[in-house]
A and B are shown apart, each in its own frame.
Chain A
Amino acid sequence: MYVSADLIWLAVALPLAGFLLNGALAIWRPTSKTAVSVIGPAVLLGAFAVVLLVFRSYALSGIATPVLVRLWSWVPAGSLQVDLSFVVDRLSLVMLLVVTGVGSLIHLFSVGYMKEDPGYARYFAYLNLFIVFMLVLVLGASFPVLFIGWEGVGLCSYLLIGFWFGEKANADAGKKAFLVNRIGDFGFLVAMFLLWTSVGSLDFARVAELAPTQLAAGGTMVTLITLFLFLGCAGKSAQIPLYVWLPDAMAGPTPVSALIHAATMVTAGVYLVARTNFLFAMAPLSSTVVAGVGAATALFAATIGLRQYDIKKVLAYSTVSQLGYMFLAVGTGAYVAGIFHLVTHAFFKALLFLGAGSVIHSMHHAYHATHSHEDAQDMRNMGGLRRHMPWTFALMLIATLAIAGIPPFSGFFSKDEILAAAFARGAELPLFRLFWLFGVAAAALTAFYMARLMAMTFFGHNRTGAEEQKHLHEAPAIMTVPLLVLGLLSAAGGMINLPELVGGDARLEHWLDPVLEAGHRYFPLEMPHGQTEYVLIGLAIVIAVGGLVAGWRVTMARPIVPARLAPAEAGFWKVLFHKYYVDEFYEAAIVGPLRRFSEKVLWKDVDQGIIDGGGVEGSARLARTLGWIGSRLQTGQVGLYLTMFLAGALGIFFVVMG
């Protein structure tokens, strides 16, 4: 069956309908959970089906040119003509498959996970709305349309982080995510303004066409544009220095963390760099900055992940770290590797988060049954869970091996490709050797903290409590089946882009070639071959295995004590536990001074002093003073009036007589 790419609007309309229906139910029938359970995942599965059909037709047709789906004219303003149009090409199709595919699985998982939540309908309304905006982001054929999605997913992220807004910490986390993202959005907007003034268009296709003639390669303008764009990416994709919101975003429900803060939204920055590869490739300085920030973030976040106890916090820092890898890839010019890692990461990180959700679900039930107030997310309270949750354990183990980079799991291929690319770029730009080293170190740490997570959660003695232990159980099928699918994808996801070295055909690379052609032309990259490739792969495997073994050994060396008995952290561990005190630093250096400035200067001085005091009360005081002066003349003394009358008459007399 041939399906025209024009039908892609249906993939957006379905979740939108889901949002409206679930939203209506959330307002008028919050208790009708059955309807929500059907509508929520069904619209997503429908969207996935549409995407699959479009993908199949597009792939079978063999064409590589993008299909522009123009819906309506959005901003017709003189020479600025922005249409609400979608672009269906090979890059957006890959993203669409990931968003709707992984999204569907997470929607299904949510049915089990959120079943007992009073805000069930509201949750699915938000989740559907998120998918709508994510699809607009991916499909947008111009910067402004992409920006709608960009802001929309930010809104949904805010709504879902603060989903349990009854607790102030959750609401604060939502606000933090929103505000930190504003900094990035400022960069995105400035980049759009600069593009408009220098190139005169905001359509991706037009900009790609005009940029080589309108902008000097390596020039100041293109460097500025790309750096501002990257500021936006750093906000959305949680890179240094704007990563601080993502770990706090774990305040939301766990499937949200899996969908928004691991698999889809946070990869939007990587997608944007890949989408605008023609610009970044023209600005080697910006690309180096992207790669450098990515590499630094990968290592930095991985070290923090070493000493977190909240299972979701470990995964959050892991996500920040893996996003760093993706930026290292796209900054190196290995756009395919970046997208490849984006896809595999979506599989195994979604699996890890959903697995963690399954664990938390079980822990929560156990503590709920005994009315205990222990922390259900603290890994020190877990241990030995593999006996209670064999499916979750087995599937999370696959994801762990994938993220650690053990062949033949998916993460191995994508991460190896990134590191090989960074190494290869090092031949011409030595700085990339340092980035490569960062990446290798981060890979070792990744394996370490993942081994620690698995060991603390699933191995050793159970520390939940004797009574609670009886209530630990495997999750229901609605939760384990999505896990199973993600497990298969995590294990075999590498198949989409097997390197030629192992007899693969680098399918994703050939598939994406037409989209990334410009980027590869301006910023060519010669990947290592032969002996170097073998050495790099060997090193990667040694590092991964070494990291896993070290993580296991160090964690199991000493018995772990439950959270309430745990001693205080000391030494460098304490620094890591407190996340390098970055939040405290931001609080002291930026948030605090800003707040004080707002209160003391902007509020007390500017608003109350100048505007209220000078403008509002000042004008009143001026009128009163003038009136008072006038009233002094009104003495009621007729004599005085007559004197003044005479003086005035004489004055006029003399003036007229000259």
Chain B
Amino acid sequence: MLLGPSLAISAMLFSIGVVGVLVRRNAIVVFMCIELMLNAVNLTFVALSRYYGVAGQLMVFFVMTVAAAEAAVGLAIILAVFRHTKSVDLKANTLLQG
């Protein structure tokens, strides 16, 4: 029924997330864009669960749990980097350059 529009929104959200990750320099914004991508995938899972059973919905809970854990670790890293360099600009933090 609403599968087509659901997947289209999901694809749009995912693409916005990808572009945001690629083009933005602020670490927090990049982080948020990754969340956006995760949620785009979640939307796909929910939409498709209607046809393929509840396993998709189950998977969404896993993703949300992992995303929460990831947010905690990721934000902690960003905070640590900011304390160290007074910046969350990704272009400026190139300590691991070869």
Contact = CB atoms under 8 A, between A and B. Distances in A.
Interface of A: 630-639, 642-643, 646
A634 B96 contact: yes
A634 B98 contact: yes
A633 B91 CA distance: 15
A219 B13 CA distance: 96
B97 to A, nearest CB: 3
Contacts of B25: 639
Contact of A634 (B18, B90, B97): B97
Contacts of A646: 18, 22
B20 to A, nearest CB: 11
Given A642-B22, A643-B22, A646-B18, A635 B90 contact: no
Contacts of B85: none
A44 to B, nearest CB: 78
B65 interface: no
Given A636-B95, A638-B93, A639-B91, 6 more contacts: A631-B98, A635-B98, A636-B97, A637-B94, A638-B30, A639-B23
A636 B22 contact: no
A642 B25 CA distance: 12
A650 to B, nearest CB: 10
B21 interface: yes
A52 B13 CA distance: 115
Interface string B60-98: 000000000000000000000000000000110111111
A630 B97 CA distance: 11
Contacts of B30: 638
Contacts, number: 32
Contacts of A638: 30, 90, 93
B31 to A, nearest CB: 11
Contacts of A637: 90-91, 94
Contacts of A635: 94, 97-98
Contacts of A642: 21-22
Interface of B: 18, 21-23, 25, 30, 90-91, 93-98
A639 B90 contact: yes
B98 A632 contact: yes
Nearest to B90: A638
Contact of B98 (A630, A639, A643): A630
A-B pairs, 4 with minimum CB distance: A634-B98, A636-B94, A631-B98, A636-B97
Contacts of A631: 98
A634 B23 CA distance: 19
Nearest to A633: B98
A643 B19 CA distance: 10
Residue of A633, A634, A637 contacting most chain B CB atoms (<10 Å): A637
Contacts of B98: 630-636
A307 to B, nearest CB: 79
Contacts of B22: 639, 642-643, 646
Nearest to A630: B98
Nearest to A646: B18
A631 B98 CA distance: 5
Contacts of B90: 637-639
Nearest to B24: A639
A440 B98 CA distance: 88
A626 to B, nearest CB: 13
Contacts of A636: 93-98
A538 B10 CA distance: 129
Contacts of B94: 635-637
A639 B23 CA distance: 7
7 contacts: A634-B96, A634-B97, A634-B98, A636-B98, A639-B91, A643-B22, A646-B18
Nearest to A627: B98
Nearest to A632: B98
A351 B50 CA distance: 122
